[in-house]
Amino acid sequence: MKKLNELYPNVDTDILIKNISINSKEVEEGSLFVCTMGVTADRHDFIDDAIKNGASAIIVSKDVGKKSIPIIKVPDTNRELPYLCQKFYDYPDKKLKMIGVTGTDGKTTTSTIIQTLIGSDICGYIGTNGRSCAKFSGDNPNTTPDSHNLYNYLDEFVKFGCKYVAMEASSEAFFRGRLQAMQFDVGVYTNITSEHLNIHGSFENYVQSKLKLFKQTKKDGFCVLNRDDEYFEIVKEACNGQVLTYGADEGNDLQIVDFKIAPRKTDIVFKYKDVEYNIESPLLGDFNVYNLAAGVLVALALGVSMEQIIKRIKDIKVSGRLELLTTNTPYYVMVDYAHTPNGISKLLNFVHTLDINRSIVVIGQAGERDYLKRPKVGNVVVENATYAIFTYEDPRSEDPQAICEDIIKELKETHDNYEIVIDRREAIQKAIDMAQEKDMVLILGKGNETYEKLKDETIYFNDIEEAYNAVANRKIKEEVA
C-alpha cells in the first residue's frame, strides 16, 4: 500500500491506495482506478462505476469534470500504467533476474524449461499456464498480464524469495505497452512465423514488436537466439546484450549435434565448449529439441552447471503440451496448445512418426483474433491429419459458426475429411467415439487452459478433463451395448 502523494508528490492528499485496477468491476475500497484505453473499451466511461465500488482516486487522460474523489490527469494512461505499477510495488522487476521468452511458438515450453533448469524454488514462471514460484501457483488472465497484474505477480515472487522469473513476452504485450518500463537480463527468441496480424496490421509490425524484447535487454545481459530460424539475422541486429546462439551448426554456442525421438523420450547430443553431452529428454518432437536447447543455454549463461542441468532435465513437465493422456484404451488421446499453422504442422508431422493409424483432430480458432490465419489453419489440418472436427475456441463476440466457416472456406472444393461440430464438448466426444485401435485423437488449441470465452461470459472448460469424461462416456455406452 502507498499514499497517493507518494506516487504523485504534486498531489496534496495522503489518501491510502491499496491496489491498482483498470476494471471498474474489480475496484474495491482503496483502489486507484486507471482509465486505460482497451481494445474495445474506454475506461473513462466507467469512472462513476469505479467510484461507486470504492475507488480512492482516478487517473485519466481526458477531461472528465469534477468528481467526489481526487483525479490526476496524465498525457497517456496506457503509457502511465506500467511505470505507476512499478513504483507502487517498489520496482520488483529490479529485484529479480528477468528472463523474457518471445516467439510465435514455444514460449510456454521454453519458459517452463528455464524455470525447471534454474530451479522452481528460486525461479518463477508467468505465462499461458498461469504463474508459479516456490511451491506457489495461481492463474493468469493473459499470456503476458496487464501491468497492474504483472507487477503484482512479480511482487509476490519477491516475497516468496524468488530470484529469477522466466516469463512469456508476447508481441501483443509489447504492442500494448505492458512491458515498456522493464529491462531484461535475458531475452530468448524461439522462432517467428505469421501471427496476430489483426493486432499488428502487418507482419513487419509483428516482428518489430517482438524485437523490443532484445532492445530492452540490458547491455550486460544475454540474448539467446535460434540461429536456424529464418529471421535470426533480423533479431540479431536488434540485440542490446551479448548474443548467444543455439542450432545445428558447429558455430553455435550450444550445438544440437544429433537427436533420436522415441515414443516417450528424446535422446539428444548437445555440444558446449567442445564437450559433447548425451541427454535424455522427456519432451517429444524436434521442435522441443530446440526449446530445450534454448533453455539449457539460458541456464548456462546464468551460471547453472551442465551437470546440474542434466539432473533437472528429467523433471521437465509442460502441462497441456504434447500431453498424452493415460486412458487405458486401444486408441490414444493427446492434448496440445498448438494453434498456429506452423505449430500445428510440426505437431502433426511428429505424431505421424509414431506407431499410429489415423489422426483425428479437434480444433477451432479464437474469435476477435487473426481471421486471416483461419483458412491457413484449416488447410494445414486437413492436409496433415486423417480427419478434422472444427469447433469453437474462445469465440468471444463472434459467431462460432462463422469462425468455422472461415476455417473451411478454402477446403469445400478440395477436401471432405472434415466436419463442423460447434459445441466443443460434443466435438471432443465425437472424436473419441470415432477412434479405433491405434488411432490418435488430438485436441488442439487450448492445452491445459481452464476457460472458454463466450459472447457474454467466461465459462470453466478444460480440454484434458473433457477428454477423460468423453473416454468414460464411451466406455459406459460400450458396456450398455
Mind listing the pLDDT tens digit for each residue in 264-303? 899 999 999 999 999 999 999 999 999 999 999 999 999 9
Percent of the chain with pLDDT over 90: 84
Per-residue pLDDT tens over the stretch 295-341: 999 999 999 999 999 999 999 999 888 999 999 999 999 999 998 89
Q: Degrees (nearest 5) of the Cα angle 313, 224, 243?
A: 140
Q: What would the DSSP string read from start to end of 237-300?
A: HT--SEEEEEESSTTSSEEEEEEEE-SS-EEEEEEETTEEEEEEES--SHHHHHHHHHHHHHHH
Estimate the crossing angle of helix 374-384 against helix 400-408, to 10 degrees.
60
The CA-atom distances, in angstroms, between 368 and each of 81, 356, 372 are 24, 36, 11
Beta-strand relationship, 323-324 and 418-420: unpaired
Q: Mean pLDDT score of the chain, rounded to an integer?
A: 94
- Please report the pLDDT score of residue 369 as a whole number: 84
3-state helix, strand, coil in the chain (%, to 5): 35, 25, 40
Range(s) within the chain of domains with CATH label 3.40.1190.10 = 92-313
CB 99 within 8 A of CB 166: yes
What is the spatial distance between Cα 362 and Cα 326, in angstroms, rounded to a whole number?
18
The predicted-structure confidence for 122-162, as pLDDT tens digits, reads as follows 999 999 899 999 878 888 767 788 999 999 999 999 999 99
- What number is the average pLDDT over the span 375-403? 96
Superfamily of domain 323-480: Mur ligase, C-terminal domain (3.90.190.20)
- What are the backbone angles phi and psi of residue 85, rounded to the nearest 5°? -65, -40
Q: Does domain 2-77 have CATH number 3.30.470.20?
A: no
Q: Please tell me the pTM assigned to this model.
A: 0.88
Q: What is the pLDDT of residues 59-68, one digit of tens each?
A: 999 999 999 9
* Residue pair 52/29 in contact by the 8 Å Cβ criterion: no
pLDDT at residue number 200: 54
pLDDT of residue 481: 75
Backbone phi, then psi, for 220, in 5-degree steps?
-95, 15
Percent of the chain with pLDDT over 70: 98
Of 50, 44, 42, 49, which Cα lies nearest the Cα of 73? Answer: 44
* Statement: residue 165 has pLDDT above 90: yes
Residue ranges of alpha helices (H) inside 370-412 are: 374-384, 400-408
Q: Using alpha carbons, select from 61, 28, 65 the residue that is nearest to residue 42.
A: 61
User: What phi-psi label fits residue 279: left (phi over 0), alpha (psi between -120 and 50 degrees) or beta?
Assistant: beta
Q: How many CA atoms lie within 13 A of 454 on its CB side?
A: 11
Angle in degrees, 0-180, between the axes of helices 107-118 and 306-313, rounded to the nearest 10: 120
**Cα separation of 230 and 247, whole Å?**
12
Cell representation of residue 446: 487450448
Residues in contact with 314: Cβ distance below 8 Å, sequence separation at least 6, in sequence order: 280, 282
Residue 295 burial (C-beta neighbours within 10 Å; 0-12, 13-18, 19+):
buried
Residue ranges, comma separated, of all CATH 3.90.190.20 domains in the chain are 323-480
pLDDT for position 195: 56
Domain with CATH 3.40.1390.10 in the chain: 2-77
Please write the tens of the pLDDT for every residue from 350-361.
Answer: 999 999 999 999
Element (H, E) at 420: strand 418-420
Instruction: Check whether 413 has a pLDDT greater than 90.
Output: no
Per-residue model confidence (pLDDT) at position 39: 72
Cα angle: 110, vertex 126, 129; to 5 degrees: 75
- In 107-148 the beta strands, taken as DSSP E runs, fall at 123-127, 130-133, 136-138
Confidence of residue 175 (pLDDT cuts 50, 70, 90): confident
> What CATH topology corresponds to 92-313?
UDP-N-acetylmuramoyl-L-alanine:D-glutamate ligase (3.40.1190)
CA distance 60 to 62: 6
Segment 168-173 shows an average pLDDT of 89
Residue 177 has pLDDT above 90, yes or no: no
Q: Is 238's pLDDT higher than 90? A: yes
How does 430-466 read in b/e, with b if 16+ C-beta sit within 10 Å? bbbebbeeebbbbbbbbbbbbebbbeeeeeebbbbeb
**Using CB atoms within 10 A of its CB, is residue 480 exposed (0-12), middle (13-18) or buried (19+)?**
exposed
Q: What is the pLDDT of residues 178-223, one digit of tens each?
A: 899 999 999 999 998 855 555 656 888 888 889 999 999 999 999 9
Distance, in Å, from the CA atom of 278 to the CA atom of 196, rounded to the nearest integer, reads 38
Contact 332, 356 (CB under 8 A): yes
Other beta carbons less than 10 A from residue 328's beta carbon: 7
Distance CA 240, CA 213 (A): 9
pLDDT interval class at 262 (50, 70, 90): confident
Q: What is the mean pLDDT of residues 244-268?
A: 95
287-292-295 Cα angle (round to 5): 130
